[in-house]
A and B are shown apart, each in its own frame.
Chain A
Amino acid sequence: MRPRSSTGTTGTTRTATITRPVVASLAVLAVAVLTACGAKVDAAGGGASSSAAAGCVDTSGDAVKVGFLNSLSGTMAISEQTVHDSLQLAADEINADGGVLGKQLEIVSEDGQSEPTVFAEKASKLITSDCVAAVFGGWTSASRKAMLPVFEANDSLLFYPVQYEGLESSENIFYTGATTNQQIVPALDYLAEQGAKSLFLVGSDYVFPRTANKIINAYAAAHDIEIVGEEYAPLGHTDFSTIVNKVKAADADAVFNTLNGDSNVAFFKEYNNAGLSADDMPVVSVSIAEEEVGGIGVDNIEGQLTAWNYYQTVDSPENDAFVKAFKAEYGEDRPTSDPMEAAYTSLYLWRAMVEKAESFDVADVQEAADGVTFDAPEGTVVVDGDNHHVAKTALIGRIGDDGLIHTEWSSQEPIEPDPFLEGYDWAEDLS
């Protein structure tokens, strides 16, 4: 590391004295690594004998454990804390309502720390050491991709509440957020309908934006839309002057934004400061919900577009009850958002599946999943037993000066999930 050049002048005797502590700490580190490996071997062994992992879930008492795994620290905490809160709300409501199959939910919370590797580690801990019946959480696709092999190897269940790039369907994951044909494709339909002929793509440098943009490129090629630029910023990137310069120079009809986390704040501040606005070049974002609007600052983002399946402003009795309960629990100033709603819904869907199966067993729940419905705040959702996604209505919204998002355009009815875009001719070469 860098420090060496500073110690260089202090002479060679120093090196001799440092060596011992360094060697000692290396030894400690080696032991720690070895123990960690030992634990991993045990876990894999438990998974291999199949029933061991499933049998680990204790349903004999009057409580059953479920795991919540969200980033409560790091760059994603701004978003994932809210999902954690609404999961907690759903659990409290279900417990007050008599629990699941008469058993109270006992929550085990873990912090994914915005690190995919930590997500995998904590997922493994929740399944094999806490013996939870199901895990709820994850946000970035990187975290989901990291957890997927853990859930498959241990044959356990993950409920993933965030819109994502599709092209995935695991027996062990239920996707309660939108897949591409329920969010990105409708957003592109909307832009095409509005007469957009050119698009600039801005995204964080990881799996979701890259895959999403591949889909957008395929769509654009088939619909006579020109992609005039495609830029990626590392997660957590905070200097957007160069990217905004490129956007400005390209002068597209609209910008499609797949940035994640607090990069959005820096991007929109820069966007405004460079003199760009929603009027001359609207930005459609797929990762900015009500909660993030506050963090970005309403002034910086007012009038811009978003694509989701739920907004706090959705008008339904279920949503009124959800919003009221959430505000009563966490404060009047806390908004509700799409991923929060999808997370809230995911816990209820799991309960419905368990009660339909009359069992907490993973195989029974998977068996019972098809056709399970829940009157969610966004409207009634139905689980597709084949691809483990849910049917959802797409909503394009505009961010108002009140910091809330108001529906501008709706697909009117729930869109059947199609994670591999098999029903779209232009998407043939994607999967």
Chain B
Amino acid sequence: METLLSQLFAGLSLGSVLLLAALGLALTFGQMGVINMAHGEFMMAGAYTAFVIQGLLGDPGASLLVSLPLGFLVGGALGLLLEATLIHRMYRRPLDTLLVTWGVALVLQQVARDVFGAPNVDVAAPGWLSGAVTVGGLALPKTRLFILALAVVCIVALALVLRATPLGRRIRAVVQHRDLAEASGISSRATDRLTFFIGSGLAGVAGVALTLLGSVGPTLGTSYIVDAFLVVVAGGIGQIKGTVIAATALGLLQSFFEFSTTASVAKVLVFVVIVAFLQVRPQGLVSVRTRSLA
């Protein structure tokens, strides 16, 4: 029973990591339709931000709290730069975007390698996040609780921005019908940029959070990018709700499969489940209702 509960927690925790990684993608890929392969590298940039800040400030606690907003800004700034220089030229050419952003991802990895060196670096976790909280004999690692909480905060913040602010209204309007939104006086260029900024910024935040779990290296993003796309696709394009459900479900699936088999086999099983699921429901868990026949 206790193992079952701690497995449940491990699954939720993995789900929250996946969610953080996929949330930004749900905006840029899900809402805007941009296949951004450099999304993982924005996470890497966020992680290195945490590393640099820790080098400057020294104290792990303070630097974590500074790194989170700063990681958002760094990821967002990179996203803005990418959007302004490359992506906005190819909104109508999704396959080219895939290749171009993949190239950008490779460039960013090499930049990180040249600046920070090939060996991975370690970001120390603050003292108040080391160890575990014990609930009825169940040890819940504090870092994982923190990431879980961070994911919830990001989700709530994003939902608020999308639903309750003029910006969110503009984003949703452009997603639903670009031409009509423009005709109503919304600058779709400015909206695109802001959406991309927020989406990439969330990747930066995810990167900062990942430093609590493992080491920071130039290829940090590549291990998450495929999973992040899986979550967004399985969740249904264009729906944040679907992303949340899919991330949680995949996290739980992965950890329970892993518990009853092995890590490698679990990965295979998760892929099989997703492929089978997409056969039945190609539009994902939650889909936007449209009048188009496609």
How distant is B272 from chain A, measured CB to nearest CB, in Å? 16
Expressed in whole angstroms, the Cα–Cα distance for A10 and B10 within the complex equals 39
Given contacts A81-B119, A205-B263, A275-B132, contact A245 B213 (CB under 8 A): no
On whether the beta carbons of A245 and B7 are closer than 8 Å, the reply is yes
Residues of A within 8 A of B113 (CB): 73
The answer on a CB contact under 8 Å between B94 and A3 is: yes
* B124 near A9: Cβ-Cβ < 8 Å: no
Q: How far is the CB of A343 from the nearest CB of chain B, in Å?
A: 16
For chain B, the bracket of interface size reads 35 or more
Indicate whether B277 reaches chain A with its CB closer than 8 angstroms: no
Return the CB mask of B275-293 against A: 1 if under 8 Å, else 0: 0001000111000001010
* Bound: A78/B118 CA distance, A: 7
Nearest-CB distance from B42 to chain A (Å)? 17
> In the complex, how many residues of chain A place their beta carbon closer than 8 angstroms to a beta carbon of chain B?
51
A275 touches B139 (CB 8 A): yes
**Are A241 and B14 in contact, CB atoms less than 8 angstroms apart?**
yes
A149 interfacial contact with B, CB 8 Å? no
Contact of A249 among B3, B214, B223 (CB under 8 A): B3
Q: Main secondary structure on chain A at its contact with chain B?
A: helix
- Assess whether A273 is in contact with B143, with CB atoms less than 8 Å apart: yes
Interface string of B121-137 (1 = CB under 8 A from A): 11011000011101000
Residue of A nearest to B121 (CB): A295
0/1 per residue, A1-43, Cβ < 8 Å to B?
A: 0110111111100000010011000000000000000000000
Q: Please, how many angstroms separate the alpha-carbon atoms of A241 and B29 in the complex? A: 29
Looking at the assembled complex, report how far the CB atom of B205 sits from the nearest CB atom of chain A, in whole angstroms.
17
B-side contacts of A265, CB under 8 Å: 120, 122, 214-215
CB of B294 within 8 A of CB of A8, answer yes
12 example contacts (A-B, Cβ-Cβ < 8 A) are as follows A5-B284, A10-B94, A78-B118, A78-B120, A241-B9, A242-B10, A245-B7, A269-B212, A270-B213, A272-B131, A273-B130, A274-B141
Chain B residues with a Cβ under 8 A of chain A? 3, 6-7, 9-10, 13-14, 17, 29, 33, 35, 94-96, 98, 113, 117-122, 124-125, 130-132, 134, 139, 141-144, 210, 212-215, 217-219, 223, 229-230, 233, 237, 254-255, 258-259, 262-264, 267, 278, 282-284, 290, 292, 294
Q: Which residues of A contact B (CB under 8 A)?
A: 2-3, 5-11, 18, 21-22, 72-75, 77-78, 81-82, 205, 231-234, 236-239, 241-243, 245-246, 248-249, 262, 265-266, 269-270, 272-275, 291, 294-297, 299
